[in-house]
Amino acid sequence: MEKININQVDPTGMPLYEMKKLFTKKGDFKEVSMSVISLTPGERVPAEGMSCHEEDEFSYIFSGEIETYCNGKYSVEKAGDATLIPAGEEHWCINKTNEPCMLVCFMVKKADS
């Protein structure tokens, strides 16, 4: 998993607008989906075991925090963090706080998948 905090990214486009590019992925894409997720306090995704899929998973945390396990490593993602989980990488996350964790998630499926 790659991780970037938005506060550490220099903006472009000033003074007309402020844009912070977090990740770039090149290629032919078959499908892209966007979801807004609220992970309830105490919940784990998936409930048991590991998650693994054929899409690259791009996420941005708006509020709250989650603990993740990806590719053999534990990490805590907080508001302002963006992550990229490559296709085929096993992972899970859990909300160990008392507040929901709000995030947006893009799933990008390559044309050859």
Name the residue with higher pLDDT: 26 or 104: 104
Residue 12 pLDDT class (50, 70, 90 cuts): confident
The span from the CA of 110 to the CA of 54, in Å, is: 8
pLDDT at 90 over 70: yes
List the 73-78 sheet strands across, edge first. 44-45, 91-94, 65-70, 73-78
What is the reported pTM?
Answer: 0.83
CA angle, corner 97, sides to 1 and 84, nearest 5?
A: 15
Assigned fold of 2-12+29-110: Jelly Rolls (2.60.120)
36: left (phi over 0), alpha (psi -120 to 50) or beta: beta
42: left (phi over 0), alpha (psi -120 to 50) or beta: left
Dihedral pair phi/psi, residue 18, rounded to 5°: -120, 120
C-alpha to C-alpha distances, 96 to 16, 23, 29, 34, 112, nearest whole angstrom:
40, 27, 35, 24, 37
Average pLDDT, the chain: 92
The span from the CA of 99 to the CA of 10, in Å, is: 29
